[in-house]
Chain A
């Protein structure tokens, strides 16, 4: 009855192809001749359809901006007094219902800085710091007496901190990254969060800040869908399976180890014979999907095999960056292979530092530095530096006060971004002397605004199409010309 609403292309789809979970049977579980156009859209192009419980946040913006740094070296810019150009909107900490008019100076181009490539060439590499990364051990308020009072001997060695300005500096083990063009976003967290890893990782992963029920599609999946042009791989997880790519329509691949692709590229007798045979299977029901998938992974194997470099396994990126180094090496290979990757998920685990915080966090920062530093160098060498943004995320920060040698689950944290950003500090530091009810650092930037920055400001994806309530980005980049 509604055949005329479907294009011939859509009619070739079997009804099963619209079903990706048992719950889709509620909405899209109709035989093709019963599917209305709206139903087809709602099932094949899944989007956030949510009411949002957090009112009054739209239009809110606490903004703190270091006008373009003097050079790409934050240390030098600090020494040159860049902090005098800070627009300081230090107002009261966010609470639901507040609105505040803040002037947001647009970043301006600086010839000495990398400026971003056009939107359709940009790649987002999001690194999940799993377990809850302490924002204040990463971006250290090294001068603040209140911080030393809270943390005592868990404070990183002040003399070794890489000063970003006269308030904060990067962790001593982030030496390589401190030399990079970078931005810091402070006070990023939930508005009404909980202290469960599982719940908060899910909220971040689904881009579901309010914890609404029924959000099943991953945030990165929605980004990949929004930038999808039918590439062999649009979304890539180099950390194995991640729910962040759940329910993507765009082609997404998750890799656990570099050698996973071996059978796609090896030339020992059995591999080419296998490839030729499965590539020729083709016929039969639903086989065209399978054949397309084979062709996609074979082309990925060929492309990635052509650019992978065996010597890299001995590089500091892998030796010191460990698992994250290996992951980002795969990411670098895939990006260099130019197979259409636009959204990458990587993961560094071990941030749940309830005890032994200092030693463990120090080591993790060293790994982050070596892995991301090595990755950025490879992007530089490949001439891709203006196309790639590396950003961190973490399900929560950690408790203000030490529990002895460790830090319990917290709330807001500080995020780092590397690549063609307009350098500076963004957001608003969580006040050290005004912790929340549980003794945690307060959120000043709701994390959906951070995600909106990655979506809208970096990838050019309308934030309202991928996040509930259309949160506003923080504008970390020179506007696309």
Chain B
């Protein structure tokens, strides 16, 4: 097996684009390829956050259409990549939310904090209407505390299992009680009548805790920075950290006040980031966003993301979506292949007939390819006499987007 590097500079640019944005199309790659590595890293990391807001629609598909359109039209989409990352580890399901406007509010909240500070982001989640409804904190009162949000906050969103006791879950549930989501105007308020408001002992300290002091306490805990930091590390490098490295990264990140920017900077400048061109599978969302730009999917057809198995705000459970090899499973492969045939390529691209193998590779951001992929694409020419250039052109796109190189990042 051999790997062909078609152009070293563009190969590096493509690696950076695939991992730090949600696109890998020529516009961005050409721009980055002209820069030094340091300059290119700065160009994708130092982006001005977009402050536009999602439509206040009662249909979540409309909100997603807006988001997918933004992603498609934003070359340096680190903010949206991180927004989806935060959503995928701190998920909310639209079904349990009811008023879908709350999805728009939460999406705005995550986008506003995605590249900011993890502590601020968690404060945002803990008083977010959609999150309160999703994890049953809306009905939690001092008299009848609901433990769902308190538990997941510790187990999944911060310190992880083994760092707290059931007593801490009960204490946090009491401390975090009293939040209400108004069904009429979707405003979130703290009802002082229904909150507990008494001292409880949480992680060894007795005080009159509330939701925000609980979040602060959890963010001060070294396990949070180590856990979340290593998730971000995996997301960008495709590599898992050993336990010593996790601790080291965590204590360093705590020293950075849990600011997201320095963490990303350190990861993207690490050797691990640049070690392999293909380190992990693209998830359904990553595959969808990359393909939608290249094939110009109509953004209103948001069901394509659903068909690919990773529709935002429809996580399989509160643990979020699977990562890793799940995205190379027969199920995932079947869906991606099916998508390739569910679109009429000639309707959306007028350059099908003229494309050569290298045109397609360039359009798909594939600058490092295996000999097998190159020969599979080249061998399609043997169908020219039977099928004609149109059909062969269409096939090239489908095969390229089904290749390992396009399914990995």
State the A residues within 8 Å of B (CB).
15-26, 28-31, 34, 196, 198-199, 202, 206, 213-214, 216, 232-233, 241, 243, 246-247, 251-254, 256, 260-264, 269-271, 273-274, 277-278, 280-287, 289-290, 293-294, 296-297, 300
By a CB distance below 8 angstroms, the chain B residues around A274 are 337, 340-341, 395, 398-399, 402
Main secondary structure of the interface of A (DSSP, over half): helix
Closest 4 CB pairs of A and B: A284-B370, A283-B372, A29-B240, A283-B370
Once the chains bind, are A283 and B373 in contact (CB under 8 Å)? yes
Q: How far apart sit A28 and B323, CA to CA, in the bound complex (Å)?
A: 13
Neighbour of A20 across the interface among B241, B324, B372, CB < 8 A = B324
Is B26 part of the contact surface with A, judged by Cβ < 8 Å?
A: no
Once the chains bind, are B394 and A34 in contact (CB under 8 Å)? no
Least Cβ–Cβ distance between A468 and chain B, in angstroms: 16
Neighbour of A285 across the interface among B89, B340, B408, CB < 8 A = B408
Classify chain B: how many residues form its interface, as a range. 35 or more
Pull 15 A–B residue pairs with CB atoms less than 8 Å apart, ordered by A.
A16-B238, A16-B280, A25-B241, A34-B243, A198-B95, A206-B317, A247-B322, A252-B331, A273-B387, A274-B337, A277-B395, A277-B399, A278-B402, A289-B328, A296-B330
Stretch among B16-24, B73-81, B154-162, B189-197 lining the A interface = B154-162
Q: How far apart sit A117 and B332, CA to CA, in the bound complex (Å)?
A: 33
Interface string of B383-395 (1 = CB under 8 A from A): 1001100010011
Q: How far apart sit A283 and B374, CA to CA, in the bound complex (Å)?
A: 10
Neighbour of A278 across the interface among B156, B320, B376, CB < 8 A = B376
By a CB distance below 8 angstroms, the chain A residues around B391 are 269-270, 273
Once the chains bind, are B325 and A297 in contact (CB under 8 Å)? no
Least Cβ–Cβ distance between B221 and chain A, in angstroms: 14
A-B contact count (CB 8 A): 202
Least Cβ–Cβ distance between A396 and chain B, in angstroms: 16
Once the chains bind, are B231 and A269 in contact (CB under 8 Å)? no
Least Cβ–Cβ distance between B82 and chain A, in angstroms: 14
Once the chains bind, are B278 and A284 in contact (CB under 8 Å)? yes
Once the chains bind, are A216 and B317 in contact (CB under 8 Å)? yes
Q: How far apart sit A23 and B394, CA to CA, in the bound complex (Å)?
A: 40
Name the interface residues of B298-332: CB closer than 8 Å to any CB of A: 307, 309, 316-317, 319-326, 328-332
Closest to A252 in B: B331
Closest to A271 in B: B341
Is B3 part of the contact surface with A, judged by Cβ < 8 Å?
A: yes
A260-B338, A286-B328 given as contacts; is B333 within 8 A of A294 (CB)? yes
Closest to B325 in A: A17
Is B242 part of the contact surface with A, judged by Cβ < 8 Å?
A: yes
Least Cβ–Cβ distance between A185 and chain B, in angstroms: 27
Most A CB atoms within 10 A — which of B96, B227, B277, B317? Answer: B317
Q: How far apart sit A281 and B136, CA to CA, in the bound complex (Å)?
A: 48
Once the chains bind, are B395 and A16 in contact (CB under 8 Å)? no
By a CB distance below 8 angstroms, the chain B residues around A285 are 276-279, 404, 408
Closest to A34 in B: B242
Least Cβ–Cβ distance between A223 and chain B, in angstroms: 17
Once the chains bind, are A20 and B403 in contact (CB under 8 Å)? no
A263-B341, A290-B407 given as contacts; is B324 within 8 A of A23 (CB)? no
Neighbour of B246 across the interface among A23, A24, A29, A247, CB < 8 A = A29
Once the chains bind, are A15 and B240 in contact (CB under 8 Å)? yes
By a CB distance below 8 angstroms, the chain B residues around A296 are 330
Least Cβ–Cβ distance between B230 and chain A, in angstroms: 5
By a CB distance below 8 angstroms, the chain A residues around B330 are 232-233, 251, 253, 293, 296-297, 300
Neighbour of B372 across the interface among A23, A31, A281, A294, CB < 8 A = A281
Interface string of B79-107 (1 = CB under 8 A from A): 00000000011000101100000000000
A198-B96, A293-B330, A293-B332 given as contacts; is B156 within 8 A of A23 (CB)? yes
Once the chains bind, are B316 and A243 in contact (CB under 8 Å)? yes
Is B239 part of the contact surface with A, judged by Cβ < 8 Å?
A: yes
A213-B155, A270-B391 given as contacts; is B372 within 8 A of A280 (CB)? yes
Once the chains bind, are A25 and B230 in contact (CB under 8 Å)? yes
Q: How far apart sit A26 and B154, CA to CA, in the bound complex (Å)?
A: 13
Neighbour of B278 across the interface among A24, A269, A286, A300, CB < 8 A = A286
By a CB distance below 8 angstroms, the chain A residues around B231 are 22, 25
By a CB distance below 8 angstroms, the chain B residues around A283 are 1-2, 370-373, 404
By a CB distance below 8 angstroms, the chain A residues around B279 are 16, 285
By a CB distance below 8 angstroms, the chain B residues around A24 are 324
Q: How far apart sit A213 and B376, CA to CA, in the bound complex (Å)?
A: 47
Neighbour of B373 across the interface among A17, A19, A284, CB < 8 A = A284
Neighbour of A284 across the interface among B325, B338, B405, CB < 8 A = B405
By a CB distance below 8 angstroms, the chain B residues around A241 are 309, 316
A202-B317, A269-B387 given as contacts; is B399 within 8 A of A286 (CB)? no
Once the chains bind, are B240 and A19 in contact (CB under 8 Å)? yes
By a CB distance below 8 angstroms, the chain B residues around A21 are 319-324
By a CB distance below 8 angstroms, the chain B residues around A199 are 136
Neighbour of A19 across the interface among B3, B277, B324, CB < 8 A = B324
By a CB distance below 8 angstroms, the chain A residues around B227 are 25-26
Neighbour of B240 across the interface among A31, A216, A254, A300, CB < 8 A = A31
Least Cβ–Cβ distance between A225 and chain B, in angstroms: 14
Neighbour of A281 across the interface among B307, B329, B341, B404, CB < 8 A = B404
By a CB distance below 8 angstroms, the chain A residues around B170 are none
Once the chains bind, are B341 and A22 in contact (CB under 8 Å)? no
By a CB distance below 8 angstroms, the chain B residues around A232 are 330
By a CB distance below 8 angstroms, the chain A residues around B246 are 29
Name the interface residues of B45-68: CB closer than 8 Å to any CB of A: none
Q: How far apart sit A273 and B380, CA to CA, in the bound complex (Å)?
A: 8
Is B334 part of the contact surface with A, judged by Cβ < 8 Å?
A: yes
A23-B156, A29-B246, A216-B319 given as contacts; is B324 within 8 A of A17 (CB)? yes
Interface string of B258-285 (1 = CB under 8 A from A): 0000000000000000001111110000
Most A CB atoms within 10 A — which of B276, B369, B377, B395? Answer: B395
By a CB distance below 8 angstroms, the chain B residues around A216 are 317, 319
Name the interface residues of B342-392: CB closer than 8 Å to any CB of A: 369-373, 375-377, 379-380, 383, 386-387, 391
By a CB distance below 8 angstroms, the chain B residues around A289 are 325, 328
Neighbour of A29 across the interface among B152, B234, B281, B376, CB < 8 A = B234
A29-B240, A214-B155, A233-B330 given as contacts; is B373 within 8 A of A281 (CB)? yes
By a CB distance below 8 angstroms, the chain A residues around B161 are 26, 214
Once the chains bind, are B333 and A270 in contact (CB under 8 Å)? no
Closest to A275 in B: B337
Neighbour of B234 across the interface among A19, A196, A271, A286, CB < 8 A = A19
